[in-house]
Amino acid sequence: MGLVGRQSERAELLACLESNRSEFVALYGRRRVGKTFLVRQTLGHRFTFYATGVLDGEGGMAAQLENFNDEIAAQGGAHLTRATNWRQAFTNLHEMVKRAPAGKKVIFLDELPWMATRGSGFLAALDYFWNRWASARNDVVLIVCGSATSWIIQHVVDNQGGLHNRLTRQILLTQFTLRECEEFFRQAGFVMTRYQMTEAYMVFGGVPYYLELMDPRFELYHNIDRLCFAKDARLANEHHNLFRSLFGGADGHLRIVEELAAKAKGLTREELIAATHLPDGGHLSTVLTELEQCGFIRSYTAFGKRERGKLYQLTDPYTLFALRFQTARHSYTDNYWRQYSATPGHAAWSGYAFEQVCLHHIPQIKAKLGISGVLTSISSWRSSTHDPGAQVDLVIDRADHVVNLCEIKYCVGEYTIDKPMNRSLRNKAAAFTAETKTRKAVRTTLITTFGLVRNEYAAEILAEVTLDDLFAAT
């Protein structure tokens, strides 16, 4: 199957081949999102040199260096003396690339964080290779890649040493949008409605690797049972394996996401400390930053609150699903998801999971509202009067003096606003206006799967977003 989406990222890589300078590109994004596939599909395997770090390689630096030496030998450098340190390894790479045919020399170093073991001198050697040789030419394209997004940002993108401001391009590869998932499913031969594709997104997110594990011969629920709940499920241990491959000692990361999974609207830093018993300080800040940079959580300030009231919320669809259901998978019967889909519990889960889908598609929501070019901030809101009904799932605060209070409803058909719901929506808008003292126009906005039943109450909704709108291009 060909490359799905990724037009802007592909264009960035192709531009490197046409530029009149050497290029140093950092490509990063969470594991399983398709970084290596993107580079290979775009550049057609035209690498002067390619090497990848070894995950959990025993022997630390020695194992990584041995692998690098093997790749040098296999790709044209067999005559070179095997390096015993990274400075020598990059000298060998220098010699090998110098002898390459005319044209752009593409060097792809994949999973860089695994190569750069602590105290190995890898980054200093990379710095020397780029600054003393490659950057002075006009024919080198150096692409470094990593799934440990926070590591790449800290040690390459925001490097304060020799690599400071040396990148010529940086590409953050994110999960597929719903539109890209739809393109993927069509290419792969799936016959699915957009409603079913959305439920697939609520389980697997827009992570290409998970979607590729689905089989078009089976319908959605069978695929979920087969991959997540069967005795030999391919994703049975994915959650823990993923976190440990990204963060090494991931106990703190796992404890935080487990607590956040139980609190839909998120927790403050103080609440996280109390729940996880992790000590306050720099390490906790690092863990939270790493989780956010890798796309598992988001931090936001509730509308009208100051920075001290910042909330952390788990927003990665697959992590939410795994913590909610897969942790107890051994107690489930065969065909669990098919059976669970007919229960009230599934309906409750769907409502919250659909909220996360919407958070991943803010550009599409803004496009439907006609405010793509308007500066906005995204938050939620809860009444300080302790009225449990006075809370808003999604608040879009706009620079054009309008606030959209978005009510998100996931249902199998058109949504009906009856008299009690109409009263609730009116009360929320009134409470929001009174408590926040906003002078902006407040517009109640409904985000639903299939739109509204047209009755006397629906006419009061001035802005509406449907599932089809979330599948739109931006």
CATH number reported for the structural domain that contains residue 460 in this entry: 3.40.1350.10
Per-residue pLDDT reduced to its tens digit, 333-356: 678 999 899 899 999 999 999 999
Distance between alpha carbon 155 and the CA centroid of its chain, in Å?
20
Distance CA 188, CA 223 (A): 14
Q: By the 8 A CB rule, do 85 and 63 touch?
A: no
Q: Which of 312, 339, 360 is the last residue of a domain?
A: 360
Tell me what percent of the residues of the chain surpass a pLDDT of 90.
Answer: 69
Q: Domain holding 262: CATH number?
A: 1.10.10.10
The mean per-residue pLDDT over the stretch 126-136 comes to 93
DSSP string, 411-472: -SS-B---HHHHHHHHHHHHHHHHHH---SEEEEEEEESS-B--STTGGG--EEE-HHHHTS
Domain count, the chain: 3
Per-residue pLDDT reduced to its tens digit, 358-372: 999 999 999 999 999
C-alpha dihedral over 239, 244, 246, 251, to 10 degrees? 100
Residue 193's domain comprises: 176-360
Per-residue pLDDT reduced to its tens digit, 284-334: 998 998 899 888 999 988 887 766 678 999 999 999 999 999 876 666 667
State the Rg of the chain over Cα.
Answer: 25
Distance CA 126, CA 118 (A): 14
343 and 438 belong to one structural domain? no
Residue 390 pLDDT: 81
335 and 380 belong to one structural domain? no
Per-residue pLDDT reduced to its tens digit, 30-78: 888 999 999 999 998 789 999 999 876 566 899 999 999 999 999 999 9
**For residue 2, is it within any domain?**
no
Look-up: residue for tokens 């404890």? 255
Q: In what order do the strands lie in the sheet with 267-268?
A: 267-268, 310-314, 297-301
What does DSSP assign to residue 226? Answer: I
> Cα separations (Å) of 284 from 30, 127, 311, 353, 371?
20, 30, 14, 27, 37
Residue 329 pLDDT: 62
52 and 12 belong to one structural domain? yes
Which residue type occupies 247?
Answer: F
Secondary structure of residue 332 in the 3-state scheme: coil
What does DSSP assign to residue 277? Answer: -
Question: Is the predicted pLDDT of residue 387 greater than 70, yes or no?
Answer: no
Secondary structure of residue 298 in the 3-state scheme: strand
332 and 396 belong to one structural domain? no
